[in-house]
């Protein structure tokens, strides 16, 4: 069964967002990592890069496919999970903790209103 964490928000692209004031932590969902299969490579966004909501900010590559990572908000990349460069499988093993991808400072908090609740996301993946 796909894990969905109640206090997170979600995107239609199967990404999760943890909101902390004017910052978010971002990763891909349990459902996404299951669909991708074994993740073998990740191209992380650049720290200090300004991004727009929906813009491709990186790539995740698995044994099955290559998938773009889309920014859920407009903002600035504050930090990336550099551990993933050496160990991209952390996304498969712990997508909601050690497998986080980036921390982003939000430009427009109203963009968060477009994200799905855990309940809405569960309906999408069930």
91-109 pLDDT per residue, tens: 999 999 999 999 999 999 9
Residue 112 falls inside a structural domain: yes
Q: Read off the tokens for 35.
A: 């669909």
pLDDT at 16 over 90: yes
Residue 105 belongs to domain with CATH number? 2.40.50.100
Residue 67 falls inside a structural domain: yes
pLDDT at 26 over 90: yes
Cα–Cα distance list, 31 to 34, 106, 109 (Å): 5, 25, 26
Q: To the nearest whole number, what is the mean pLDDT of the chain?
A: 96
- Over residues 59-82, the pLDDT tens digits come to 999 999 999 999 999 999 999 999
pTM: 0.95
Which structural domain, as residue segments, surrounds residue 75?
9-118
Nearest Cα neighbor of 102 from 123, 74, 71 is 71
Count of CB atoms within 10 A of residue 116's CB?
A: 18
Residue 62 falls inside a structural domain: yes
Taking residues 18-32, what's their average pLDDT? 97
Cβ(105)–Cβ(25) below 8 Å: no
């Amino acid at each position: 069964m796909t894990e969905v964490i109640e206090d997170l928000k979600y995107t239609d692209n199967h990404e999760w967002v943890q909101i902390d004031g004017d910052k978010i932590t971002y990763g891909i969902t349990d459902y996404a990592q299951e669909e991708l299969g074994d993740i073998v490579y990740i191209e992380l966004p650049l720290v200090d890069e300004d991004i727009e909501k929906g813009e491709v900010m990186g790539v995740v590559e698995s044994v099955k496919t290559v998938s773009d990572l889309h920014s859920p908000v407009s903002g600035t990349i504050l930090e990336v999970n550099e551990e993933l460069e050496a160990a991209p499988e952390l996304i498969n093993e712990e997508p909601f903790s050690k497998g986080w991808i980036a921390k982003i400072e939000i430009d427009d908090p109203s963009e968060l209103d477009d994200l799905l609740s855990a309940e809405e996301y569960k309906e999408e993946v069930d």
